[in-house]
Homo-oligomer: A and B are copies of this chain.
Amino acid sequence: MWINLGRHILWLACWLGLSGASLAQDADWRPVEPENLLLIKTVYGQVAVELNPVFAPNHTKRLQGLAKAHFYDGLSFYRVIDGFVAQGGRNEGDLPDWPVLKNENDRPAKGLNFVPTGSPDLYAPEAGHVGGFAAARNPKTGRAWLMHCVGSMAMARDTDPDTGDVEFYIVIGPGTRYLDRNLTIFGRVIDGMEFIQKLNRGTRAIDNGVIADPARRDPIMSMRLASELPAAERPAYEVMRVDGQAFADYKTAKRVRDAAFFYRRPPEVIEACNVQAPVRRAVGDDGAP
């Protein structure tokens, strides 16, 4: 029991979380389209984001356009608040050559393959997943929207809801659900979130998180679409389908913790943000970048 204690600790908790993913069949997965796969190169490593044209078609097009124009290359994460957001993609004061976008904070629920978690949610009438993303739904209004989770990528804006253009933020801490339906989420980090967590922070109390010293601002070395890369350099990801048995099993394992480790059985609750669809590198992907 003592040998390798370190490896045992919380092992069960992890194993339960992963078993669904590792046992899933190929039919349980869908590829991430290369034109929706945004690759952000940081000094710490490469971050992969899946764009979401279903909820945010115009923001997705904007990001595709910005990536193709190499707009972000050399800009920085200049406002980073621990436990909140990493924001970047503009030099302060710059008026970019890209017009403002109408917000895409929510959309009709109709036509979406919305898979409810079956658990209650503190911020929405119904919580679930659409295409791997944590989403919420209001049956009364018939609207659906993406949730602010750790890893959500969204467009920053001014007070007017239709003023987003190029500047983005990535959520790096819990407790941002109050931003739901107020800002437009257009993607989620599916790999390399640990590199976003390594970004240098600013001080919230002094400069509202803006990093005063430009030398401490971590650069966006490049931001590219996988579709723009030579085929040999493209990473390829797959996301678990949320309407299949594999994902149902995954959620059950997260909800029902019946291993001996849990001598006090936790409440059978899951939160959509914390059980987003598992992601894997596709077979044959050499993981070059």
Interface residues of A (CB under 8 A from B): 1-15, 18, 21-22, 78-79, 81-85, 87, 90, 92-93, 95, 105, 119-120, 122-124, 149-150, 156-159, 161, 163, 167, 169, 172-175, 177-182, 193-194, 197-198, 201, 204-205, 208-210, 257, 260-264, 266-267, 269, 271, 273-275
- In-complex Cβ contact of A10 among B156, B172, B193 (8 A): B156
Q: How far is A149 from B257 in the complex, measured between Cα atoms in Å?
A: 19
Do A93 and B267 contact each other (CB < 8 Å), given the known contacts A9-B158, A9-B167, A122-B122?
no
CA distance A83 to B120 in the complex (A): 22
Judging by beta carbons under 8 Å apart, are B123 and A122 in contact? no
Given A123-B266, A123-B267, A269-B122, decide whether A261 and B159 contact each other with a Cβ distance below 8 A: yes
Are B87 and A9 interface neighbours, CB within 8 A? yes
Question: Is the beta-carbon distance between B122 and A193 smaller than 8 angstroms?
Answer: no
Residues from chain B with Cβ under 8 Å of A210 in the complex: 6-7
The oligomer's copy count stands at 2
Question: Do the beta carbons of B167 and A14 come within 8 Å of each other?
Answer: no
CA distance A13 to B2 in the complex (A): 48
Neighbouring B residues of A179 by C-beta, 8 Å: 10, 13, 266
Q: Which residue of B lies closest to A119 (CB)?
A: B122
Other-chain contact of A159, B150, B173, B209, B260 (Cβ < 8 Å): B260
Q: Is the CB of B122 within 8 A of A182?
A: no
Report Cα–Cα, A118/B228, bound state, in Å. Answer: 51
CB atoms of B267 and A81 under 8 A apart? no
Chain B residues whose C-beta falls within 8 Å of the C-beta of A122 in the assembled complex: 119-120, 122, 267, 269, 271
Determine the distance from Cα of A201 to Cα of B47 in the docked complex, in whole angstroms.
14
| A82-B197, A150-B173, A198-B197 known; A123-B269 Cβ under 8 A | yes
A181 proximity list for chain B (CB < 8 A)? 264, 266
Residues of B within 8 A of A81 (CB): 14
Whether B92 contacts A6 by the Cβ 8 Å rule is: yes
